[in-house]
Structure 1
Amino acid sequence: MKASKLAYKPVGFALGAVSGMIAGAAFKQAWKLIEGEGDAPDALDQHRPWRQILLAAAVQGAIFSVVKAAVERSGAQATRHVTDTWPA
């Protein structure tokens, strides 16, 4: 394993945690705009319709994927800027 990839591992873990927090906050705000409610439905919530549960899952997945990709890409670019090597 390349040294740059090994050195990036802890940075990647930290960025993963940060991206999860950002995505969670973004999803809460998006859900308020979509449904006007603070809490998104859980898949096991028997009082919510299928449409609402599947919509929440799709929106959450999209937001988490975009935020994760943006944060990881930014971290890789910052690593390249500091070390002059791409971490992957």
Structure 2
Amino acid sequence: MSAQRAKVEDSGSKAARILYKPWGVVGSILAGLIARQIFQRVATKVVPVDSDDPPKPLESEYRLKEILVTALIQGAIFAVVKALFQRGSARAFQRWTGEWPGD
């Protein structure tokens, strides 16, 4: 009986993962848009630049230190926003369906 139960639970989790995919894609797009806005505001305040855009690696007027600090900030912001969205959307999905989409 426990083998049947495990099989049913596995199929439920597989179905949850499949149903979660579109939900996760939309969440990732939203997270990316939000992270970009946060990054542009934060980076131009941390790394002093003349324009409203943060420095890019191929812009020769910036020192390597400014480029690396900007890249570090960008990576941290994107990782945190992505993690928050993924976790929040997984919890919302669990509340809606009763199943956790991961694992």
Given the two structures, how large is their TM-score scaled by the length of structure 2? 0.81
- How much has 1:35 moved relative to structure 2? 2.7
AA partner of residue 35 (structure 1): V
Aligned twin of 1:44: 58
Aligned twin of 2:3: none
Q: Distance in 2 between matches of 1:62 and 1:33?
A: 16
Please, which runs of 5 or more residues in structure 2 have no aligned partner?
A: 1-10
In the alignment, which of 81, 85, 88 is matched to residue 95 of structure 2?
81
AA partner of residue 19 (structure 2): A
Q: Distance in 2 between matches of 1:10 and 1:18?
A: 12
Q: Distance in 1 between matches of 2:42 and 2:48?
A: 9
Counting aligned pairs with the same residue, the percent is: 35
- Bigger shift: residues 9-18 or 36-45: 36-45
Aligned twin of 2:17: 5
Q: What are the within-5 Å matches in structure 2 for residues 3-82 of structure 1? A: 3-37=15-49, 38-82=52-96
AA partner of residue 45 (structure 2): L
AA partner of residue 48 (structure 1): Y
Given the two structures, how large is their TM-score scaled by the length of structure 1? 0.94
Larger Rg: 2
SS in structure 1 at match of 2:31: helix
- How much has 1:36 moved relative to structure 2? 4.1
Q: Distance in 1 between matches of 2:27 and 2:21?
A: 10
